[in-house]
Amino acid sequence: MDIHEYQAKEILASFGVDVPPGALAYSPEQAAYRARELGGDRWVVKAQVHAGGRGKAGGVKVCDSDVEIHKTCEGLFGRKLVTHQTGPEGKGIYRVYVEGAVPIEREIYLGFVLDRTSQRVMIVASAEGGMEIEDISADKPDSIVRDTVEPAVGLQDFQCRQIAFKLGIDPALTQRMVRTLQGCYRAFREYDATMVEVNPLVVTGDNRILALDAKMTFDDNALFRHPQISELRDKSQEDPRESRAADRGLSYVGLDGNIGCIVNGAGLAMATMDTIKLAGGEPANFLDIGGGATPERVAKAFRLVLSDKSVQAILVNIFAGINRCDWVAEGVVQALREVQVDVPVIVRLAGTNVEEGQKILAQSGLPIIRATTLMEAAERAVGAWQNDLSQNTKVRLAT
């Protein structure tokens, strides 16, 4: 789960990381009022969307008066901000963050991520801040500083000092850098984050170290332990299909293809998508219904997949271990009887109670295409989609 910049800054500030003074606004009038509250003679207005690259896309503006802030916000609110991370559909702007401008001496990149190779929290830093880490890695790989945290003892002060030295931090500011690094790590650890990124972390002309921008991503599976973090979720920034799936306890990722997938198990779902592509098709989604594939859960999955108007065939691929094929078959039949399904449905079942499951499908009287292997299921799904597409084309030509 992602959160907004201002929310990430509030969390980091609670762990001792210094951030510039700022305030949230939901309208141009409120933004201008916030600037007068903050005081000063220069402010930065930032669109709050879950995406990087806001500055290049026009989502970050420097303003010299409250009148300019009002005019800037009128052009931001209700607009779709399109960046290299959002795709062409963009993200809607419904709130902005007004922040006092600070005198920047230098910029630093700082990130905390989970390194699955070392199974440790890795600190990634660079003296070349203000750029995406991918760009830094490509253009100036030697500027990147990496260190891992030993989970038994946590981040140590000597590690923080070493990072500060490698980044060329003024010795007089070393202790402030140590406090910043420790604060970011504690926020990462305490709230089960998967990423904390401060870019840029700036050194100001009056010798402060401030988090000028911040991103945090959290492990969805650990949110039950942190209700205060769950409350920060902004569904307006999410794919509505993925949001609906999360509300129903399903793991869903929308893709650009036309063959919907309903699978149990993340590994099997990945294999199913690969096999569909191998057969000449394009998967429309990743959907893992998990271990408890009850009839009700399968029916929910069907409704979710069919909510994507680009889906022109559905492939159900179940390998039952914890699950039971007869449960899944009952769910497929229930879904097809309750939900209007106008696309071909291909079902492949294997594992526990597979004979019972196949019998339920066969006796349902529904137009279900059955398969025994994954490759056969993928080929039949692609064939059914192509046949359906060909028939629709003929109908359009005839009319």
What is the per-residue pLDDT across 340-360, written as a single tens digit (0 to 9) for each? Answer: 788 899 999 998 889 999 999
- Dist. CA 315–CA 347, nearest whole Å: 6
209 and 310, same domain (yes or no): no
111 and 92, same domain (yes or no): no
Whether residue 165 is contained in a domain is answered as yes
Q: What is the pLDDT of residue 398?
A: 39
Q: What is the pLDDT of residue 191?
A: 96
Q: What is the pLDDT of residue 241?
A: 72
Residue numbers in the known binding site for Mg(2+) are 199, 213
Contacts of 208 (CB under 8 A, 6+ apart): 18, 102, 176
Per the CB < 8 A criterion, the answer to whether 68 and 42 are in contact is no
On average, the pLDDT of the chain sits at 88
Q: What is the pLDDT of residue 395?
A: 35
Specify burial of residue 364 (Cβ count, 10 A radius: 0-12, 13-18, 19+). middle
Specify burial of residue 214 (Cβ count, 10 A radius: 0-12, 13-18, 19+). buried
Q: What is the pLDDT of residue 293?
A: 60
Of 128, 197, 242, 379, catalytic: 197
200 and 272, same domain (yes or no): no
Q: Which of 230, 264, 290 is the last residue of a domain?
A: 230
Whether residue 118 is contained in a domain is answered as yes
Whether residue 182 is contained in a domain is answered as yes
- Phi/psi at 375 (5° precision): -65, -40
Which residue type, as a one-letter code, is found at position 3?
A: I
Contacts of 153 (CB under 8 A, 6+ apart): none
Whether residue 399 is contained in a domain is answered as no
Whether residue 305 is contained in a domain is answered as yes
What is the total count of domains within the chain? 3
263 and 388, same domain (yes or no): yes
Which residue type, as a one-letter code, is found at position 55?
A: G
- Only one residue has tokens 């026009």, namely 58
Whether residue 286 is contained in a domain is answered as yes
Per the CB < 8 A criterion, the answer to whether 182 and 155 are in contact is yes
What's the CATH code of the domain at 77? 3.30.1490.20
Q: What is the pLDDT of residue 345?
A: 92
Residue numbers in the known binding site are 46, 53-55, 99, 102, 107, 199, 213, 264
This prediction's pTM: 0.77
Whether residue 2 is contained in a domain is answered as no
Active site residue 338: no
273 and 214, same domain (yes or no): no
Of 6, 109, 185, 191, catalytic: 109
Parts of the chain with a pLDDT under 50: 392-399
- Dist. CA 220–CA 242, nearest whole Å: 13
Residue numbers in the known binding site for substrate are 264
- Phi/psi at 274 (5° precision): -60, -40
Q: Which of 100, 121, 139 is the last residue of a domain?
A: 100
Q: What is the 3-state secondary structure (H, E, C) of the chain?
A: CECCHHHHHHHHHHCCCCCCCEEEECCHHHHHHHHHHHCCCCEEEEECCCCCCCCCCCCEEEECCHHHHHHHHHHHCCCEECCCCCCCCCEECCCEEEEECCCEEEEEEEEEEEECCCCEEEEEEECCCCCCHHHHHHHCHHHEEEEEECCCCCCCHHHHHHHHHHCCCCHHHHHHHHHHHHHHHHHHHHCCEEEEEEEEEEEECCCCEEECCCEEEECHHHHHHCHHHHCCCCHHHCCHHHHHHHHCCCEEEECCCCEEEEECCHHHHHHHHHHHHHCCCCECEEEECCCCCCHHHHHHHHHHHHCCCCCCEEEEEEEECCCCHHHHHHHHHHHHHHCCCCCCEEEEEEECCHHHHHHHHHHCCCCEEEECCHHHHHHHHHHHHHHHHHHHHHHHHHC
Domain containing 39: what range? 21-100
Residue numbers in the known binding site for ATP are 46, 53-55, 99, 102, 107
Q: What is the pLDDT of residue 338?
A: 81
Active site residue 231: no
